[in-house]
Structure 1
Amino acid sequence: MATGAVSPNLDLLPLKEFKIKSLIVQSQVLKNNPWKDPTQRHHVLLMPKGEVPRVGYPLVVVLAGFTGNSPSYLSPKSFEDNFAQIVDKAVGTGGCPRACFLFVDGMTFWGGSQFINSRGMGNYEDHLIEEVLPFVFSEFRIAKDRVCVMGGSSGGYGALHLGSSYPKIFPWVAAVAPDCFFEQSLLPEIYTALPIIARYGGIREIAGLLREGRFHQRRESHSVLNAIAMGLCYSPHPKAKNQVLFPIDEKTGKVQLKVWQKWLEHDPLIFLKARKKNVVRLKGVFLDVGREDQFHLQWGARQLREILKKQNVSHHYSEYDGNHFDISTRRPQVWSWLMKQWK
């Protein structure tokens, strides 16, 4: 059984509307994870100041994108406000619900877990569902019927996955440029990454360079880290520990259909259809994407919209003038949507 504690905080941010709570959770489900990532996790909760409503506060669960970690969203930024400062001002001006915001510590050795359970990365889905949320619900007065899971990129993927798996826990889902349409968003990354992985000698050698701090800042690192991390999540090698069964033949470049099918089962374009009984129970979905997304996610988002339409799921869909690296500017749109949903 996981153990948790609420740690006292230093007032490092001048927030007018929120108190900052550090949640230290000693995980059981992350024990013996394949990359020896920390089992003690440090999540952060923004809790509104003042008297707690009788029914409790709504909760927004914030998931980070690949290579990010949402507790770091409270770190100071040059020339602009961070997430916490932006939401603090939005609440003060009536542009955001007065809610608790939970920033989930989901960092892994390779930069992320997609917030799923996987033999190749660890049980990060179970950590959130079985350990973190029960701890939050036990320590704080939360309106359990008003919980939204939100994120962008891999965080948006996690939001779609968790919402479609646990609609009773997450009745609302907000996903900005979520990973999807793997044929366009992931296959090109794998084709780019495989020759580079081979040049370095394989995954084990790249892992060694990462530990020494000698790989992640290289220009070619993102495609490599992305391909390896997604492979560990979607098709870890069944026999070789900490290796990936890639869906592309490394000599001919042909797609290996049996392996590729394993990846596609994790594509929201596939699992939203497979989980229709859960998806139709969602009270609302926010879906947003840039028209010039570098990973071609606008094409996938348009297909996701059609799926939600066919399933008669209440949803908001929008496209913005920008690309994948403008995701963080779209948070106020999520909050405006939630204001209408929770009025």
Structure 2
Amino acid sequence: MESKTNHLRSLQDNLELFELKSLKIKTLLISSQALKKNPLRDSSKRRNPVLLPLSDPPKNGWPVVFVLSGYAGNGTKYFSDRGFDQNFVQSLDALVHTGHAPQAIYVFVDAWTSWGGSQFINSKGMGNYQDYIIDELVPAVKSEFQVKKAPSGWCVMGGSSGGYGALHLASLFPNIFSIAVAIAPDCFFEASVLPEVYKAIPIIEKTGGVPAVFESLKKGTFLKGRDSFTVLNAIAMTLCYSPAINKDGLEFPIDAKTGKIKSSVWKKWQSKDPIYFLKMREEKVKKLKAIYLDVGKRDQFHLHYGARQIKETLKKIKIYIVSKLTKTFFSPIFAYLISKLKKKNMKI
């Protein structure tokens, strides 16, 4: 006898965790050549969630927003259920539905590494994540979806490490992205990362070195430590900014015994710091339509100091900026900044 409840059944191709009103979810799978021989042997197969408007695209295509996650995050994490609160995807869908955020294609970049992040740059310590994004993911988006071709229709955004990546990619490739949105971007390494390195080195030595930390991480035992995030952050940033050919695969910017700054290594770090590279890339930065900055007034990693320096640099370059200081320690208010993109004179 046929069940009376058969009409209530529905077999889905993908797990549908929540209902969206204005957007639908796709996954853009990239078999990356740029990441094929990465030093960490992380998978070169990358899964990038994509949000597309339900309505038909305009004649000249949809605008595009690349979303970069913070350290220890990834594109897929934006889709995780938050229980009593909306996640980012649900909040974004609500903004689009009410007309407070632009109808666009939102690409959530998969740039995860075994150490928790890549900073979205090319590094001999992590892999060529910049090449993967620029040479593979961007062309794939243009090929698979009906999108705007001109950079005026492309934005890159993120918080913390994602904010760093947004500033890095936009300032280096204004021919692709014309708008950058950076929430508490990693910057001014003297105040933000260097204290982490000083705190991490004794713990790394006690553990038995970087390889021992990595083995403990793979076994799932390292994250139980109180300062585990500090250690992983220090190692990951050093692998990005000053990789080296030695047993650890990196060179910390300070001497482990004396604590003195290693000037030759520190120069490498400074060249990767937004407060410096934005000045060095002034001519390219001038080509951008706008940069949006947000940071807490008392950010836990002291990123408000660097953000203020970035603001002053951008004012001198005479690029349009929106800067917002909030009262929280860390303020990933994507909703506010995305709504700013809806301004008539800044519409993407």
Same-fold call, TM > 0.5? yes
Match of 2:233 among 209, 226, 234: 226
For structure 1, the 5+ residue unaligned runs are 1-7
Match of 1:34 in 2: 39
Whether the 8 Å contact between 2:17 and 2:81 is mirrored in structure 1 is no
Match of 2:219 in 1: 212
Residue 315 of structure 1 aligns with an amino acid whose one-letter code is I
Whether the 8 Å contact between 1:120 and 1:242 is mirrored in structure 2 is no
**In 1, Cα distance between equivalents of 2:66 and 2:281:** 21
Whether the 8 Å contact between 2:29 and 2:45 is mirrored in structure 1 is yes
**In 2, Cα distance between equivalents of 1:331 and 1:247:** 33
Match of 2:99 among 75, 94, 101: 94
Match of 1:323 in 2: 329
Residue 282 of structure 2 aligns with an amino acid whose one-letter code is K
RMSD: 1.1
For structure 2, the 5+ residue unaligned runs are 1-12
- Identity of matched residues, %: 49
Matches within 5 A, 1:46-195: 46-145=51-150, 146-195=153-202
Q: CA deviation at 1:218?
A: 2.1
Whether the 8 Å contact between 1:96 and 1:336 is mirrored in structure 2 is yes
Q: CA deviation at 1:78?
A: 1.9
Q: Residue deviations 1:245-302, cap 9 Å, x none? A: 1110100111111111110110001100000110000000001100010110001000
Match of 1:338 among 338, 341, 344: 341
Matched, 1:16 2:21: yes
Q: CA deviation at 1:12?
A: 3.1
Match of 2:259 in 1: 253
**In 2, Cα distance between equivalents of 1:195 and 1:211:** 21
Match of 1:45 in 2: 50
Q: CA deviation at 1:241?
A: 5.2
Whether the 8 Å contact between 1:73 and 1:84 is mirrored in structure 2 is yes
What TM-score results when the alignment is normalised by the length of structure 1? 0.95
Residue 153 of structure 1 aligns with an amino acid whose one-letter code is S
**In 1, Cα distance between equivalents of 2:133 and 2:224:** 30
**In 2, Cα distance between equivalents of 1:306 and 1:162:** 20
Residue 338 of structure 1 aligns with an amino acid whose one-letter code is L
**In 2, Cα distance between equivalents of 1:74 and 1:68:** 11
Whether the 8 Å contact between 2:95 and 2:339 is mirrored in structure 1 is no
What TM-score results when the alignment is normalised by the length of structure 2? 0.93
Runs of at least 4 residues of structure 1 off by over 4 A? none
Residue 258 of structure 2 aligns with an amino acid whose one-letter code is T
Residue 319 of structure 1 aligns with an amino acid whose one-letter code is L
Residue 336 of structure 1 aligns with an amino acid whose one-letter code is S
Q: How many residues were matched structurally?
A: 332
Q: 1:303 aligns to what SS in structure 2?
A: helix
Whether the 8 Å contact between 2:111 and 2:117 is mirrored in structure 1 is yes
**In 2, Cα distance between equivalents of 1:79 and 1:12:** 14
Cα 1:332–1:100 change in 2 (3 A) is same
